[in-house]
């Protein structure tokens, strides 16, 4: 058995609003959506953030045990982007909460984190230098030493 692909599957409180948020912030392309004929909830949607980078989402269905986050979930999604600062600004304008503004990190990336209005955390970053794993460890050790 081999894993062929991996898609983050987000559960959200409002599927229609989430699709609009991800289009506005990430420039996502909606591939398709299935709308529940009983109540209009998004039963399933797929959004392409970049070629080959797809996220899936659905509205919460508590009656089926499918819940949207109501607080920090412990899961974060990392996206490598062209400009982390600009993306964080778009996220804030669209209603996201910047948790950590973009900073240049010891591992060679400028990155920051935001929480979307649906409870999901996104770390976004862009490369500023190539850093080997050994150099990352050395830098981390130096930071810990003070």
Q: What is the extent of the structural domain holding 115? A: 73-146
Total number of domains constituting the chain: 2
> Which residues does 131 contact at the CB level (< 8 Å), separation at least 6?
106, 107, 108, 139
In a domain, 114, yes or no: yes
Each residue's pLDDT tens digit, 46-90: 999 999 999 999 999 999 999 999 887 778 999 999 999 999 999
Q: Do 86 and 141 have their domain in common?
A: yes
Same domain (yes/no): 48, 82: no
Here the CATH number for the domain that contains residue 47 is 3.30.720.120
- pTM confidence score: 0.92
CB atoms closer than 10 angstroms to residue 3:
5
Tell whether 77 and 144 lie within a shared domain.
yes
pLDDT digits (tens, 9 = 90+) for 92-142: 999 999 999 999 999 999 999 999 999 999 999 999 999 999 999 999 999
Cβ contacts of 105-110, under 8 Å, gap ≥ 24? 106/131, 106/136, 106/139, 106/140, 106/143, 107/131, 107/136, 107/139, 108/136, 110/84, 110/85
Query: Quick one: 137 and 108 in the same domain?
Result: yes
CATH number at residue 89: 3.30.720.110
Inside any domain, residue 34: yes
Specify whether 12 is located in the same domain as 36.
yes
Distance CA 146, CA 140 (A): 10
My answer on whether 41 and 85 are in the same domain is no
Integer Rg of the chain from CA = 17
- Is there a single domain that holds both residue 19 and residue 52? yes
Tokens of 35: 């709308």
């Amino acid at each position: 058995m081999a894993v062929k692909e991996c898609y983050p599957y987000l559960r959200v409180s409002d599927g229609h609003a989430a699709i609009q948020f991800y289009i506005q912030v990430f420039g996502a392309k909606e591939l398709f959506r299935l709308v529940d004929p009983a109540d209009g909830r998004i039963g399933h949607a797929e959004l392409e953030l970049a070629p080959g980078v797809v996220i899936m989402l659905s509205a919460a269905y508590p009656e089926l045990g499918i819940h949207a986050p109501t607080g920090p979930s412990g899961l974060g999604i990392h996206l490598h982007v062209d400009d982390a600062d600009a993306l964080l600004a778009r996220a804030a304008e669209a209603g996201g909460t910047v948790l950590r503004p973009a900073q240049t990190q010891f591992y060679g990336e400028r990155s920051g984190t935001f929480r979307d209005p649906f409870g999901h955390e996104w770390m976004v970053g862009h490369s500023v230098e190539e850093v080997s794993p050994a150099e990352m460890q050395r830098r981390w050790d130096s930071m810990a030493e003070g």
